[in-house]
Amino acid sequence: MKFQPGDATDTALCVALKHEFLRCNDAFEEFASSATTMIIQGEGRLKSYKTYNAYARFIHHLYEFTLGAVARDRHDTEKLKYDLADRYVASEMQRALTRRREAILNGTASVWENQISAFPEKVPLSVAEGFRRARNIASGHVSVKRSNLNLSDFYQKNHKYLYILYFDIKSWWGHLGDEFPDLAEITAFSVMVKEDPPPPS
């Protein structure tokens, strides 16, 4: 569906994007905590299971946020074919990587930032393809492929690109202000039984 900036569809999409980023951020923080526990206490099936699940959720929500942001840039909510989605996702990753490299080169990066040699100039398209595949198999769909997906290998090869994208998105969408944002029906959700008001007489 085509839409215009600031219309009802755009507003609803912005609420969904904020929600999706918050879910992504929650998953990343859970992953970081679980991974730290694994490093300090050693590996084990339960620790691996919890760390895998948190990372799979992080991948899922980061991928979905990215496609939502692409829809907003395009002013069109129509679902993209996978090959076009890969190109858009790779472009978003490239934009984040270029911003990171430029900040290092012009001296505006944080003092804790890695040297420029830690960041390649280009994001290979294969990273976006692997991102989509990992999202689909690890958390998107129940598949016989899941038990054979080497998410450890994916992490080793691709996490730096996902982290750069996540960190770049967080700089725009991660600000909460003084109070938690109003996300319409999402933040109105309740399990409490509420009495309906009496009908007007």
* Model confidence band, residue 64 (pLDDT cutoffs 50, 70, 90): very high
Domain ranges of the chain: 8-175
This prediction's pTM: 0.91
For the record, the structure tokens of 40 come out as 């300090």
For the record, the structure tokens of 143 come out as 């598949």
Taking only the tens place, the pLDDT of each residue in 99-150 is 999 999 998 888 788 888 889 899 999 999 999 999 999 998 899 999 999 9
Q: How many CB atoms lie within 10 A of CB 154?
A: 20
pLDDT of residue 50: 97
pLDDT of residue 3: 96
Average pLDDT over residues 88-92: 97
Which residues partner with 76 through β-bridges? 2
Burial class of 124 by CB neighbour count within 10 A (0 to 12, 13 to 18, 19+): middle
Taking only the tens place, the pLDDT of each residue in 25-38 is 999 999 999 999 99
**Amino acid identity, residue 35?**
A
